[in-house]
Chains A and B, each alone.
Chain A
Amino acid sequence: MGGAKTDIILLNESDIRCDGRKIDELRKIIIKAGVLQNANGSSYIEFGNNKILVGVFGPRDVHPKHLANTNTGILRCRYHMSPFSVDERKNPAPSRREIEISKVIKEALEPSVILKKFPRTVVDIFIEVLQADGGSRCAALNAASVALADAGIPMRDLVSACAAGKIANSIVLDVNNEEDQFGQADMPVGYMPNLEKITLIQLDGILTHNEYATCIDVAIQGCKTIYQIQKKALIDKFFQGDIK
């Protein structure tokens, strides 16, 4: 981030990005719900080159017991990158970055899930990044919200997430790995499309007020597109695609 020097042309004269996308185009997204037998809910997402598997357990007994809350259920989240998910082997121990992403994903899902009905229990979300590219926190959040719905956890709305950013002085949708490293700004946004509420917003880089406003609009448009894909994944699993 911060526009390091590179030979990669992030945006050419005809507004085509380094991976051949237009400035308002998402990467290819595939979501599948209910891919694991032993978890209560699960999902798998391919978001460009990201490949992420999510398993949800619960509501179930809280261990250690002192974390239990008698008024409501609690949410726990673990974001983990497999050692083989990046170019060079990653140490499987949780890094500073993974702990941060676990926390922001948990906080992005909390406004959506309704755990009041499940006092003294916990809902555990396990996110396993099998292959990492830029924007894995957004991809993980999308998959986690589908897995929660698959587990039958009551939710106010699905949470869709998408990043927007600034490269070569233009605002673009869905920042990939190269653009994240050499671009000027990256802003992941988590959004509940039906309630029209933002649950996650982070910004790495510098944007003017106008650029910021455009960035949010662009990201929200992306979230709305992703929401349809999430919804389709659930419909495919539960109704075998049969819906009016």
Chain B
Amino acid sequence: MMENDKRSYVTPGDVITTGTYRADQNVICQNNKIISTVVGISEIYDNNVKVIPLAGIYMPKVNDIIIGKVISHTSLSWELDINSCYSGFLPAHDVFGRDFSAHADELSSKLAIGDVVTAKIANFDKNRDPLITIADKELGKINSGELVEISPSKVPRLIGKHGTMIQTIESITHASIIIGQNGRLIVSCKSPNLLSKTINAIKMIETQSHVADLTDKVKYKLESEGD
């Protein structure tokens, strides 16, 4: 049971509210009724209604930070598995710069198949696969850390309101966590103990994402476990 009466659990077809509201994410408006289209948690704020989904795949959005795996390359571009129904397209000149030459430069010298990269969605429309860039600071190949996969729909819950959840974990376990919006995370810790503790906390958030006061529960769990 949620104590805040503006939030509630919904399934597809449930009428969340009626009246003049603006339909935000995962809802449709029909005859003045706001109807949920997915299983999730509905939220009414200001004049908007949205549903935070609890299942579903990752849909690329421009400017999202994602973590991808290189699956193949041609002489001009890499193809990245971005945990979505589309594969990411990373052009060679993004990595080599403007003087890239298909004859002189060998793509596998920079990124080989199986490499993991943090990247950003540069462009995406319905006709082409998402265009990816790693030309920004803090983007690029990842050399160390543990790759953890969670359901992409649970990523907002892991971050929490204004990042509270992730900050709680990071401050207690001194871990550094890179979050990809596509449900992949890179966790680095000082010790294996702290690493497994962090991963357990992340998995707990994934399985109990619908529970209220989860931040406090995670905090309590992490603090009670000790080092």
Residues of A within 8 A of B (CB): 40-41, 58-61, 70-71, 112, 114, 117-121, 149-158, 192-195, 231, 234-235, 238-239, 242-244
CB <8 Å contact, A120 and B126: yes
Return B84 CB to nearest CB of chain A, in Å: 9
Can you report 15 residue pairs joining A to B where beta carbons are below 8 Å apart? A40-B57, A58-B85, A60-B85, A119-B126, A149-B12, A150-B39, A154-B37, A155-B38, A194-B14, A194-B15, A195-B13, A234-B11, A242-B9, A243-B9, A244-B2
- Complex A-B, nearest 5 residue pairs according to Cβ-Cβ distance, in ascending order: A152-B56, A152-B55, A157-B13, A119-B126, A154-B37
CB <8 Å contact, B37 and A156: yes
Return B213 CB to nearest CB of chain A, in Å: 13
Number of A-B contacts (CB under 8 A): 92
CB <8 Å contact, B9 and A157: no
Determine the chain A residues whose CB is within 8 A of the CB of B59 once the complex forms: 117-118
Q: Known contacts A61-B85, A238-B55; decide if A149 and B39 are in contact (CB<8 Å).
A: yes
CB <8 Å contact, A158 and B11: yes
> How far is A36 from B8 in the complex, measured between Cα atoms in Å?
27
Determine the chain A residues whose CB is within 8 A of the CB of B30 once the complex forms: 156, 195
Q: Is B118 an interface residue (CB 8 A)?
A: no
Closest Cβ neighbor of A41 among chain B residues: B55
Determine the chain B residues whose CB is within 8 A of the CB of A60 once the complex forms: 85
CB <8 Å contact, A149 and B38: yes
Q: Is B28 an interface residue (CB 8 A)?
A: yes
Q: Is B35 an interface residue (CB 8 A)?
A: yes
Q: Is B53 an interface residue (CB 8 A)?
A: yes
Determine the chain A residues whose CB is within 8 A of the CB of B57 once the complex forms: 40, 59, 152
Determine the chain B residues whose CB is within 8 A of the CB of A121 once the complex forms: 85-86
Q: Is B50 an interface residue (CB 8 A)?
A: no
CB <8 Å contact, B37 and A155: yes
Q: Known contacts A152-B56, A194-B14, A239-B210; decide if A157 and B26 are in contact (CB<8 Å).
A: no
Determine the chain A residues whose CB is within 8 A of the CB of B86 once the complex forms: 61, 120-121
Q: Is B54 an interface residue (CB 8 A)?
A: yes
Closest Cβ neighbor of A150 among chain B residues: B55
Q: Is B198 an interface residue (CB 8 A)?
A: no
Give the interface centre of A61, A118, A155 by most chain B CB atoms within 10 Å.
A155
CB <8 Å contact, A239 and B13: no
Determine the chain B residues whose CB is within 8 A of the CB of A156 once the complex forms: 12-13, 28, 30, 35, 37
Q: Is B127 an interface residue (CB 8 A)?
A: yes
